């Protein structure tokens, strides 16, 4: 190009005169701007508005720029910024805050707690998700409330905290806790899957509850399908506390409580017992037992044992924990040491002790994150003992006669018993029996996990996670020679020692690839993974028989010994994937798929495919809607999916044979082999299809939240034992096959309100769940399943009470003659209803008397704080179901055992205005048969926990950051008309006999005092 204009050189470039002048102005303006926006070093501190303590790890960023830092050990930070810059402070659980720098060089920033739970990050299967983005039924347990339940078991903490989750427990130290999520889905196992820090575990009771950071419950297929064959019964995901950046933080918590039985049965004393039993003998045409006959020289008038007073004392529960927490970005740590002990309220040695230690490590270096976990738990439980199957120590205790002393130095062992000739009573001395027998279970559990995650490119991460779970256990039961009465004598030859030891080693290897990307209004979160699992089990048992009194209880001193062992290995491999998609924070979609392969089934049936689809619509984010300001959130979500259940033993698809079975061939014995048990080689997974739809509402900046949800679960191909003809020669005479189906459906409601704006702060939350259960298929021919006072039949609920209906007491012989035929009936006996109208009372006259699964259950939490004081209450209840009170039946049978005081009003010719039949030994009319006499409503309302605390002022004490004392009460009040200890009893699952109370351990009332100190 040719020009006539004069040229200037600038920065080795040739410029036109006009352009040069423009460039000069730009340079001068830029210099002025840089001078005006000179960067200064800004320092400051960030504290919590809740307790004014420094917050470590708060993100401090320049708004609209890349400059970012975080607060250190003392909550302090340093960042370069100009006076026009705005600093953005963000921290999990707190509201973001923006601060204009201005002329400040030092800032004091206080972050307020974010009460909007929709911003909460929730742990889901193999990842996390913002609560507001969830499309599945995921319930978050508020740990602040759950931890106020003093317990050894994670499951017990969940009782009443989540809609659709039912929990049954007992007062036995270290006893089993039953938990079911959205009903009964299987005829074999209904316990949910527990996942602790990403590791699948079968039982959570080896873990200290105090170290739990969060707990989520996955209740439908859209949330649990990622766990495939293990997800049908729901999934409980638990994360433990991790190290937080900052200086060393030491926390100590100590609690000690006292337990007692809040309610006792009304039982007859010596005189009442002798009166009823003597009448029963006379009515049977027998002579009165000498021990009960005032005219006999053997009459017992110097013993009057109240067995409940003798057995029930004051239990002690204590829990102490010490936590060390801190670290830097490269390595954070959390070390927790926990001690738990429960000395039971029964005056026997049956106690429970547990020691737990957990170390969590995590860190980050560039694009690489890493972490590990090491946990060790040792527990020791002294078990209660049952003499006969089906009889619990509590049922034996209540049935013990008052004419039997607790101690008797004249008997071997030093404990009392009954005499055949004197009392004729077969009565168990529960205190003596459980004090003489040593029945101990020890568990050592070691859990290890190591993981690493590398961000390959922005948003694309690969994670490898290897873990192992090693459980070693030992059971040891020694029954010494003793004399506890004529029926409970253990001779030297019968004295026995049973020892069993075993181990279970489970290893996992997870390979996970995740990708997160935001493209304009599109947000994508994808997961793909490969999981390997191996489970090795070993069991060895030994038995020794024959010991002298006082002889060392070792196997080598037994007169005869025997032993055996068993082992198996189960392997699983799974491929999993998930896609979360969101558009414009309005439309949400989640897709899960998992394929499981296992050695539990034959090669032809060892693969199962499980999937789910769910979607959400944030209606309140639609621009065309003009909602009032007080409406914060409207969200509609729903989903469908298929889950599995593989609760079957190893090698169940392979027949068992006897290789040493001879047979007659030409009148000679020839060696041979025969099948011992029949099997179905095509046995496969149980399958559960779930459908659910929910509406979520938020008001007043989400301070008020409400959720309503409908769900339906249909489980098919349930494993069930189908009877076989005895001609097959199989033992047992049944075959386990996929021939059952059941459906559960119901509604769930949750509501909460938070008011934290004033000095008086309070939170109210409530949940309500309904449930209806229906059996769709039983076996191949639909034959019903009978349980204890129950019947399970197609078209009805599992385990419905099935019993006779009473219509009164026979007045006289004419009344008997005018009534349907009732064999052996006499005046004063119970008259039963002829339901089928055939003129006689038989098994065909039994009828359904009510469901045993609660039709509804609920929970209500209230917590408040004012200045240094805080108060909380938790109410929980259930209703709409019936209970068969078998313990009351045992006490009303009128035999040689002890009686309920109601028996004192028994029928006589002069006492006809009563509903209590005559007592008679042998009970020829079967007055005590299963009937509505012993059926009660199971409805109850409980004040499960109440706690009051006080934050101790610490002005001038630098080495203590926090100190709090508190008093806690548990099971303080129960509103129920139930005659027994507690309608909230643990039937030890009792799938087909769920509502059968045969003498469960009463849940104790607990009052405890505690202290929390943070250094």
DSSP codes joined into one string, 255-272: EEEEEE-S----B--HHH
Q: What is the pLDDT of residues 254-308, one digit of tens each?
A: 999 999 999 999 999 999 999 999 999 999 999 999 999 999 999 999 999 999 9
pLDDT surpassing 60 at residue 33 = no
Contact 182, 711 (CB under 8 A): yes
Higher confidence at residue 931 or residue 85?
931
Instruction: Report, in angstroms and rounded to the nearest whole number, the Rg of the chain calculated over CA atoms.
Output: 35
Return the pLDDT at 117: 57
- Mean pLDDT across the stretch 55-67? 78
Within 13 A of 339's CA, how many CA atoms are on the CB side?
8
Return the pLDDT at 812: 93
pLDDT surpassing 90 at residue 967 = yes
Q: Where are the beta strands (DSSP E) in 880-988?
A: 882-885, 935-937, 940-951, 962-975
Lookup: tokens for 188: 């074999």
| Count of C-beta atoms within a 10 Å radius of residue 451 | 19
- Mean pLDDT across the stretch 422-449? 95
Higher confidence at residue 228 or residue 709?
709
Return the pLDDT at 904: 97
pLDDT surpassing 70 at residue 719 = yes
Query: Which of 222-231, 490-499, 958-967 is the most confident on average?
Result: 490-499
Return the pLDDT at 655: 64
pLDDT surpassing 60 at residue 8 = no
Contact 52, 13 (CB under 8 A): no
Return the pLDDT at 104: 86
pLDDT surpassing 90 at residue 544 = yes
- Mean pLDDT across the stretch 470-490? 95
pLDDT surpassing 60 at residue 859 = yes
Confidence band (pLDDT; 50, 70, 90) for 85? confident
Q: What is the pLDDT of residues 557-610, one digit of tens each?
A: 999 999 999 999 999 999 999 999 999 999 999 999 999 998 888 888 888 899
pLDDT surpassing 50 at residue 12 = no
pLDDT surpassing 50 at residue 112 = yes
Return the pLDDT at 34: 42
pLDDT surpassing 60 at residue 515 = yes
Q: What is the pLDDT of residues 874-920, one digit of tens each?
A: 999 999 999 999 999 999 999 999 999 999 999 999 999 999 999 99
Judge residue 597's burial from the number of C-beta atoms within 10 Å of its C-beta, 0-12 exposed, 13-18 middle, 19 or more buried. middle
- Rounded Cα gap, residues 99 and 86, in angstroms: 6
Rounded to 5°, angle at Cα 855 from 763 and 140 = 35
Return the pLDDT at 729: 58
- Mean pLDDT across the stretch 458-484? 95
Contact 37, 99 (CB under 8 A): no
- Rounded Cα gap, residues 413 and 431, in angstroms: 12
| pTM for the full predicted model | 0.85
The 3-class SS string of 16-30 reads: EHHHHHHHHHHHHHH
pLDDT surpassing 50 at residue 29 = no
Dihedral of the CA atoms 822, 824, 828, 833 (nearest 10)? -20
pLDDT surpassing 90 at residue 175 = no
Return the pLDDT at 499: 97
pLDDT surpassing 60 at residue 20 = no
Return the pLDDT at 1: 37
**197-211, 310-324, 373-387, 913-927: the lowest-pLDDT one:** 197-211
The 3-class SS string of 804-873 reads: ECEEEECCCHHHHHCCCECCCCCCCCEEECCCCCCCECCHHHCEEEECCCCCEEEEEEEEEEECCEEEEE
In the numeric block, the tokens 């040069």 are attached to: 20
pLDDT surpassing 90 at residue 464 = yes
Return the pLDDT at 118: 63
Percent of the chain with pLDDT over 90: 61
Return the pLDDT at 6: 40
Tell me the pLDDT of the chain averaged across its residues.
88
Q: What is the pLDDT of residues 820-829, one digit of tens each?
A: 999 999 999 9
Q: What is the pLDDT of residues 397-412, one digit of tens each?
A: 999 999 999 999 999 9
pLDDT surpassing 90 at residue 678 = no
- Mean pLDDT across the stretch 378-386? 93
- Mean pLDDT across the stretch 789-802? 94
pLDDT surpassing 70 at residue 676 = no
Q: Where are the beta strands (DSSP E) in 724-833?
A: 734-755, 760-770, 772-778, 785-787, 790-792, 800-803, 806-809, 830-832
DSSP codes joined into one string, 281-297: HHHTTPPPPGGG-TTST
Return the pLDDT at 882: 95
- Rounded Cα gap, residues 185 and 853, in angstroms: 13
pLDDT surpassing 80 at residue 15 = no
Strand partners, 41: 80
Higher confidence at residue 1015 or residue 9?
1015
- Rounded Cα gap, residues 588 and 569, in angstroms: 42
Mark out the alpha helices in 132-205 (DSSP H runs): 143-146, 154-157
């Amino acid at each position: 190009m040719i020009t006539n204009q004069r040229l200037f050189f600038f920065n080795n470039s040739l410029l036109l005169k006009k352009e040069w002048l423009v460039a000069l102005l730009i340079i001068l303006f830029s210099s002025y701007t840089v001078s005006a926006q000179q960067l200064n070093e800004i320092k400051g501190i960030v504290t919590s508005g809740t307790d004014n303590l420094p917050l470590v790890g708060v993100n401090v960023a320049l708004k609209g720029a890349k400059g970012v830092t975080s607060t250190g050990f003392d909550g302090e930070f340093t960042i370069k910024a100009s006076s026009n810059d705005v600093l953005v402070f963000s921290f999990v659980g707190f509201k973001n805050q923006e601060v204009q720098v201005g002329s400040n060089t030092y800032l004091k920033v206080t972050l307020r707690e974010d009460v909007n739970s929709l911003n909460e990050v929730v742990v889901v299967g193999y990842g996390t998700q913002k609560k507001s983005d969830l499309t599945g039924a995921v319930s978050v347990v508020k740990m602040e409330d759950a931890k106020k339940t003093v317990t050894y078991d994670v499951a017990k903490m969940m009782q009443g905290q989540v809609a659709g989750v039912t929990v049954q427990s007992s007062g036995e130290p270290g006893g089993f806790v039953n938990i079911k999520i959205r009903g009964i889905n299987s005829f074999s196992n209904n316990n949910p899957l527990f996942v602790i820090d990403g590791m699948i575990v079968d039982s959570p009771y080896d873990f200290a509850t105090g170290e739990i950071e969060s707990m989520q419950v996955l209740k439908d297929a859209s949330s649990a399908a990622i766990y495939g064959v293990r997800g049908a019964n729901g999934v409980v995901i638990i994360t433990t506390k991790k190290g937080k950046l900052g200086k060393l933080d030491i926390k100590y918590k100590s609690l000690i409580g006292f337990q007692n039985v809040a309610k006792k049965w009304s039982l007859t004393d010596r005189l009442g017992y002798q009166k009823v039993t003597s009448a029963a003998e006379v009515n049977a045409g027998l002579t009165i037992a000498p021990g009960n006959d005032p005219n006999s020289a053997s009459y017992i008038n110097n013993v009057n044992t109240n067995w409940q007073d003798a057995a029930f004392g004051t239990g002690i529960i204590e829990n102490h924990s010490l936590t060390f927490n801190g670290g830097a970005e490269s390595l954070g740590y959390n070390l927790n040491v926990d001690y738990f002990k429960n000395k039971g309220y029964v005056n026997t040695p049956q106690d429970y002790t547990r020691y737990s230690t957990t170390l969590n490590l995590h860190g980050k270096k560039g694009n690489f994150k890493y972490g590990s976990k090491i946990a060790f738990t040792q527990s020791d439980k002294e078990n209660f003992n049952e003499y006969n199957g089906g009889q619990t120590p509590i049922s034996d205790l209540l049935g013990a006669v008052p004419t039997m002393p607790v101690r008797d130095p004249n008997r071997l062992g030093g404990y009392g018993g009954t005499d055949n000739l004197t009392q004729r009573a077969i009565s168990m001395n529960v205190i003596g029996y459980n004090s003489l027998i040593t029945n101990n279970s020890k568990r050592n559990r070691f859990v290890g996990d190591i993981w690493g995650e590398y961000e390959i490119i922005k948003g694309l991460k690969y994670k490898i996670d290897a873990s192992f779970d090693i459980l070693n256990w030992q059971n040891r039961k020694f029954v010494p020679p003793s004399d506890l009465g004529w029926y409970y004598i253990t001779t030297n030859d019968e004295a026995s020692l049973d020892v069993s030891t075993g181990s279970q080693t489970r290893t996992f290897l997870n390979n996970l690839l995740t990708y997160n990307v935001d493209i304009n209004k599109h947000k994508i979160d994808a997961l793909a993974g490969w999981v390997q699992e191996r489970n090795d089990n070993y069991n060895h048992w030994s038995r020794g028989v024959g010991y002298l009194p006082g002889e060392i209880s070792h196997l080598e001193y037994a007169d005869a010994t025997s032993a055996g062992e068993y082992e198996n290995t189960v392997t699983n491999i799974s491929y999993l994937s998930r896609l979360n998609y969101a558009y414009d924070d309005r439309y949400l979609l989640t897709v899960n798929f998992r394929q499981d392969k296992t050695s539990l089934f034959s090669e032809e049936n060892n693969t199962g495919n499980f999937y789910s689809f769910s979607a959400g619509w944030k209606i309140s984010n639609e621009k065309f809607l003009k909602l009032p300001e007080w409406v914060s959130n409207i969200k509609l979500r729903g989903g469908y999916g298929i889950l599995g259940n593989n609760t079957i033993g190893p090698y169940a698809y392979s027949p068992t044979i006897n290789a040493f079975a001879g047979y007659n061939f030409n009148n000679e014995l020839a060696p041979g082999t025969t099948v011992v048990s029949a099997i179905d080689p095509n046995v496969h997974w149980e399958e559960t299809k779930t459908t659910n739809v929910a509406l979520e509402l938020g008001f007043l900046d989400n301070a008020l939240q409400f959720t309503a949800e409908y769900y339906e679960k249909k489980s098919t191909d349930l494993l069930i034992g189908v009877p076989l003809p005895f001609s097959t020669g199989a033992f047992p005479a049944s075959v386990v096959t996929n021939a059952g189906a059941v459906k559960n459906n119901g509604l769930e409601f949750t509501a909460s309100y938070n008011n934290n704006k004033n000095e008086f702060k309070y939170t109210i939350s409530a949940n309500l769940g309904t449930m209806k259960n229906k059996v769709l298929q039983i076996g191949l021919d639909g034959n019903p399943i009978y349980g204890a006072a129950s019947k399970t039949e197609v078209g009805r609920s599992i385990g419905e009470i099935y019993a006779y209906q009473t219509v009164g007491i026979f007045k006289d012989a004419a009344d008997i003659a005018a009534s349907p035929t009732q064999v052996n009936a006499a005046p004063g006996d119970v008259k039963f209803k002829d339901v089928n109208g055939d003129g006689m009372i038989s098994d065909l006259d039994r009828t359904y008397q009510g469901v045993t699964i609660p039709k509804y259950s609920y929970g209500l939490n209230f917590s408040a704080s004012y200045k240094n004081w805080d108060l909380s209450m938790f109410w929980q209840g259930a209703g709409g179901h019936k209970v068969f009170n078998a313990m009351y039946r045992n006490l009303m049978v009128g035999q040689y055992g002890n009686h309920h005081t109601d028996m004192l009003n028994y029928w006589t010719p002069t006492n006809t205005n009563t509903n209590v039949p005559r007592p008679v030994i042998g009970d020829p009319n079967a007055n005590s048969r299963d009937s509505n006499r012993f059926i009660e409503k199971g409805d109850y309302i409980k004040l499960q926990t109440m706690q009051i605390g006080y934050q101790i002022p610490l002005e001038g004490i630098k080495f203590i950051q926090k100190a709090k004392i508190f008093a806690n009460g548990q099971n303080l009040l129960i509103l129920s008309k139930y005659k027994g200890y507690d309608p909230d009893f643990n039937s030890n699952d009792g799938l087909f006999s769920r509502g059968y109370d045969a003498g469960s351990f009463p849940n104790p009332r607990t009052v405890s005092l505690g202290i929390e100190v943070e250094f």
